[in-house]
Each structure stands twice: as structure tokens, then as C-alpha cells.
Structure 1
Amino acid sequence: MKLWIAWFVAMLFLLVGCGTGDEVSGEQGNDGNQIDEKISQFEGYVAAYEDERVLIVENELSEPYKDMEFEDFTEKAGQAIYFSLEEIENSMRDSLVLGEKITVEHGAVAESYPGQSSAVSINRVVDEQNDLIVNHEKVDNVHAWHSFLHSKDGSMRKMNTTTEGDSVFTMIQRKEDNYKVMIDGSQDEFGPMEINNYSCGQYAESYEQPDVNITLTDCNNDSGELTLFSLEANQLIIPEQKYSSLSVQTLEGESVFESDDQAIINETIEKIKSGNKTSVAQMGLMASDGKLTLSGEYADVILDYYLDGNVISGGAYIEAGLNY
């Protein structure tokens, strides 16, 4: 009986030992402790891209990271992590744009500020505030185009939704008169699911009632051009936002008119929207006399101005009949 009991206890220990071994996962450190291999996800904005790593911050920054004092950065950025990019494909690395919103899947984060980790995958996510969002029947954040259009060197991101509901992102960077375009179709399950890069020489606006077509030309693709989007003229020329002032200046910088009276601003906007529009391609026009600027909450809107009170924007000559 004692022999049988001893045999039973020995077998019990053996079974328990085998069961414990099956439950161990991941690697063990030098001290024998279990290393957690869980993958985490971090969503934020691209603040810096340097030396095969990218800095992602929780909060959108209002100024470039490189120009910020460290204390100011820690206060405004929220959580911040440097991710190494060894496991990320070159096409994704090369398409990253400062300020854009992405999610990063990553491993463990070293405790420092900013933190340190390794990116496993990167995906773009819609930025509801800043992306030019092109759906099937409407375009949101049109002010993003105006901000980009009137910046000397800048960038913009467009997101359009496919018929199947997938997202395709287009990043546009301008330096002087050249445009670098990166089209990220990696989330389009019915497309090639790849990222393509192009360069273009200039952009063109053409008015075909009732829409304005925005196109990049002199591109190094087969057609030589890239169509960015089309939008009803009034929605593009005067995007929805609050306007606080308007000014008119000659090309020499002489002030013609200035006002922050909301009634005058609203009247000006209404005259521009209701004015008869003709494609400038059908007209032989002299150069404009100056610029009319509407100062907006998110972006300024700048139109070519003629002293007879008419304006040009979006490839359309607009008989606005403004009297200043």
C-alpha cells in the first residue's frame, strides 16, 4: 500500500510539472523572470522624423517640435514616444509627414521622456479637424486646402473614402514650386494596398459650372497629372468658418479697404457667392489690381481683386460688384 501511495504522489507531481510548462509563453530574461511580449497601440501626431525613428505625441502641437523648449514641449505634447522603424517598410517610412495623425503598434516602452519603443506597424487614421475629407457627396475641412495653398512651404493630407468604405490617404508636400505626392492605399482592400510616390510641377484650378476642379500637373505618372478633388464653387471659394475681418490691398501693398464689421463681411461673402461666374479660361483678362483677404478662424481666404469690384478664385471670374 505504501509503495502504491508513493507511486501515485510521484505521478501527480509529474503531471503538475508538465501542465505548468505548457502555460509558459514568451521569452525569459537572464534572471528567469517572464518578459511580457504584448503588443500595444499608440495614437498621436508625427512631431519629428530623424535617424530611422519617429517621435509621436499625444496632443497636436501648434509649433514645430524642433523650435520648442523642452519644458514647453513636455507641457503641451502629453504622452510622447520615440519609435524605431527597423520593422517598418520603406514606403511607409518615406511617406510620413510632420503633423499627421497615425496609430503605431509597438512593443514594450522604456521608461523615459520621451519614451522609447520599436514600431511593429503604422497605420494612418482620420484627423477630423485637419484632414481634407472627401466623401462621395461632400468635402469637409475645405479650409485645409486654403491653408496649404497660401503657405510658402507646407503640407496637407487628404482622405477619401472608397465605394467599399476603405480609406485612401494622399499626402502633399510643397517646397517652392515643386509638389511631392504620396498616395497611401494600404488600407484599400479592393485596391493594390500599396503606397506610391509622385512629383508634380504645379497645380491648376479650373471652373466648370458649378464645380471647381483641383489638379496637379507636370507629374511623373502616366497621365502627367493627378486630380485631387472637385467641389461646388461656392463651397471651395468661401469655406464654412467664422470670418473676423476683410482687407483689400493693391499689388504694391497699398490699403484700399479694411473692416471688421460683421455685416460688411457677410455682405461681401454673399456678393461673391451670388455673383455670376465665368471660367477664366474663356476670357482674356488683364492682371488683377490687388488681393482681397478674408481672415478666417482656421485659414485666410485670398482672392484676386479688380478695382471694378470683381474677383477671381478657383479658376472663376466672379462678377461680385463690390464697392469699397
Structure 2
Amino acid sequence: MRYLLGLIMILFVTACGTTLDNGNKKHGDANDDVQNVMEGYVANIEDNSVLVVENRLDPTISEFHPDQHEQAGSAISFSLDDIEDSMVDSLIRGEKIQVTHGAVAESYPGQSSAVAIKRLVDEEHDMIISYDETINLVTLEQFIQKAENNEEAIMRVVNFTPEGGTVFNNFIFDNGEYIVKEDATQDDFVEAETIREVTCQKLEYYLTDDQHIMFELTSCDKEGETLAIASLPFADIMVPKDTYHRIEVIVGDEVVLDTTDESEKEEIITKIRGGTPHSVMTMTMMAPEGEIVLYGKQATIHFDYQEAGNVIRYNTFIEAGLTID
């Protein structure tokens, strides 16, 4: 009887030794004493390891070289044996994370084993959507421009739910497809043990009745064929917040305005943001006569331009009342 009871206890401990916790494997008492924590940015992802650095590097550069140490700051390469597969597969370069880990072997970069990974909000680079505001809209602009040029693109969107939960969505454009990794494992108000993946074929945008621009992915393998990215106020996304150092107006082959004057730039931007939007889906459109180009620090914004003072962007016709001398 004593032998049978002991066998039952062994089986119970074995069965309970590994569970899922926020997208990570949880191993009984083996890692209870781990106290090491690093916060940083994903710099490189390999088969079973992730390199995390203190300072964010250009996420378009896929390889890390030790001579980048001054720019990167502290750096540790973590093995991912104890991390759940969906978390490993969802990591993207440039995103901010927290890694709980074991001892670090001294080298550059250091070497260690990750015990748990948690995503952290990056207020400088994530597009963050809450119930009352959205920040870093230029992140979406950069993503769309690269995708429409058929270039590899990544972005992270953080959604704060009305209940106060946090959902992280990693968007990837690669080889003509949009891949979304949805991580709701840190949302205390839903039961999500793993990170979901959805693949879509198209990105579409249009003006809604409440004067928002809806951005959504269509022809998806889940989600009933459509996956919403964001519905954003028309005035905010048409000219996303950025530092615009130059504006150029081109009609035909002629540059009719090329200005860095602050008052001229402000007047053009204000009129576009304050214009009256109409969906091009319901209009018969004349071919544009030119374009307006806003050169920003983070993105370059292009509008189709009509000499009547109107502009077109994101399938939206804007009565802006521009007067270009």
C-alpha cells in the first residue's frame, strides 16, 4: 500500500511539472529561485534562441554583430528550451520584452536560458490603441508603405481593452502575405494560454460613416475572412503626428511649391486635417492633376492633388480648400 501511494505521488508531480503560464512553460519548483530579469529589445531570432539588447536597434537589420556593442548596450542571447512554442514563433525584431532567466555566462553577448518571457509596452514605437486615444499612428503608416512596395514589414499594435487588459498584436508582411500573431496571454480578463496566428492576403482601408478610416486585413484563413487592424479618426491618420520638415506640391511635371516655411507647412497640414472627407467609393473621380508630398522625420506622406484644392488618400476624397500660389 505504501509503495502504491508513493507511485501515485510521483505520477502526480510528473503530470503537474509543466503547465502554461502567459505563453510560457512553467516548471514546478525547478525555477522558483530564478531572480534574474532583463528588459530590452529583440535584436535577433534564431532557431532556438533570441538575442535581447538594452537599446533598440534597427529592426530591418536581421543580423547582429558584436561590433554593435556600443549602440546595443548590454546584450544576452537566451536559449528558448523552456518557452512555449507559440511565444517563440511570435517574437519579432525590435519589440520590447522582459526575460526572466538563469545564470549568465560571461561573454559578449552573454549566454543564458530564458525561463519566462513577457511583452512590455513600448510607448515610443508601438501603435497603442486605448478607449480614448491612439498614439504612434506613423507606425501604421510605415508598415503600409513598405507592404505596398512589397518590402518586408513588421509592426506591433497594443490594444488596451475597456476592462484594462492588454493585447499585443504583431503584424508581419512577408512574401505577399500578412501574418498576425495575437498575444492575449497577458490579458487577465480572457483565458488565453497560447498565442494565435492568422494569415491574410490583402490590406484594405476605407472611410466609415463616423469619419474614421478603417484598416482591415481580408481573405484571412480565420476570423471569418476579415481581421480589423484599427479604426482611426480621419484627421489623425491622414497626416499622422510627425515632424514635417518640407512640403512639395507637383502639378504635371512642374514643382509649383517647395517649402520649408513653418507657417506655409502648418497651413497646408491644418487644411487637410480639417477638410471634409468623402468616400471615393461613391464618387466618379477625375484623374489627379498632381501630388502633394509631406517629408517627415519618420515617414513621407503622398496625396493625390487636384488644382481645385482637394486631395485624395486612403480611398478618401478631402475637400481641403488649399490655395497654392
TM-score (norm 2): 0.82
1:144 maps to 2:145: no
2:165 and 2:259 map into 1 onto residues whose CA distance is 45
With over 3 angstroms needed to count, the CA separation of the structure-2 counterparts of 1:250 and 1:171, relative to structure 1, is: farther
Matching residue of 1:162: 161
1:254 and 1:197 map into 2 onto residues whose CA distance is 47
Given the alignment, which residue of 37, 41, 44 partners 1:45? 41
- 8 Å contact kept, 1:134–1:158: yes
- 8 Å contact kept, 1:238–1:301: yes
Q: Which letter maps to 2:309?
A: G
Matching residue of 2:88: 93
- What is the CA-CA distance between 1:322 and the residue it aligns to? 2.7
1:68 and 1:227 map into 2 onto residues whose CA distance is 34
Listed as ranges, the matches of 1:70-219 within 5 Å are 70-71=66-67, 73-151=68-146, 152-175=151-174, 177-193=176-192, 194-208=194-208, 209-219=210-220
Q: Which letter maps to 1:271?
A: K
SS of 2:57's equivalent in the other structure is coil
- 8 Å contact kept, 1:219–1:225: yes
SS of 2:100's equivalent in the other structure is strand
SS of 1:258's equivalent in the other structure is strand
SS of 2:224's equivalent in the other structure is coil
- 8 Å contact kept, 1:233–1:314: no
2:98 and 2:42 map into 1 onto residues whose CA distance is 10
1:262 and 1:280 map into 2 onto residues whose CA distance is 31
For 1:112-164, what per-residue CA distance to the aligned partner results, in whole angstroms no more than 9, with x for missing partners? 00000011111111001011000011101111111112123211110011222
With over 3 angstroms needed to count, the CA separation of the structure-2 counterparts of 1:63 and 1:221, relative to structure 1, is: closer
With over 3 angstroms needed to count, the CA separation of the structure-2 counterparts of 1:241 and 1:87, relative to structure 1, is: same
- What is the CA-CA distance between 1:222 and the residue it aligns to? 3.8
2:111 and 2:118 map into 1 onto residues whose CA distance is 19
- 8 Å contact kept, 1:47–1:64: no
Matching residue of 1:26: none
With over 3 angstroms needed to count, the CA separation of the structure-2 counterparts of 1:38 and 1:274, relative to structure 1, is: closer
- What is the CA-CA distance between 1:97 and the residue it aligns to? 0.7
TM-score (norm 1): 0.82
- What is the CA-CA distance between 1:175 and the residue it aligns to? 2.3
Greater radius of gyration (CA): 1
For 1:8-41, what per-residue CA distance to the aligned partner results, in whole angstroms no more than 9, with x for missing partners? xxxxxxxxxxxxxxxxxxxxxxxxxxxx953311
SS of 1:150's equivalent in the other structure is helix
Matching residue of 2:295: 295
Q: Percent identical across equivalent pairs? A: 39
1:83 and 1:115 map into 2 onto residues whose CA distance is 8
With over 3 angstroms needed to count, the CA separation of the structure-2 counterparts of 1:290 and 1:183, relative to structure 1, is: farther
Listed as ranges, the matches of 1:17-56 within 5 Å are 38-56=34-52
Matching residue of 1:238: 239
- 8 Å contact kept, 1:205–1:314: yes
With over 3 angstroms needed to count, the CA separation of the structure-2 counterparts of 1:254 and 1:55, relative to structure 1, is: farther
1:130 and 1:137 map into 2 onto residues whose CA distance is 19
Q: Which letter maps to 2:178?
A: Y
Q: Count residues with an aligned counterpart.
A: 287
With over 3 angstroms needed to count, the CA separation of the structure-2 counterparts of 1:254 and 1:68, relative to structure 1, is: farther
- 8 Å contact kept, 1:39–1:108: no
Matching residue of 1:30: none
For 1:56-77, what per-residue CA distance to the aligned partner results, in whole angstroms no more than 9, with x for missing partners? 0000113655566532x11100
- What is the CA-CA distance between 1:110 and the residue it aligns to? 0.4
2:275 and 2:242 map into 1 onto residues whose CA distance is 20
With over 3 angstroms needed to count, the CA separation of the structure-2 counterparts of 1:176 and 1:307, relative to structure 1, is: farther
Structure 2, unaligned stretches of length 5 or more?
Answer: 1-31
1:170 and 1:63 map into 2 onto residues whose CA distance is 16
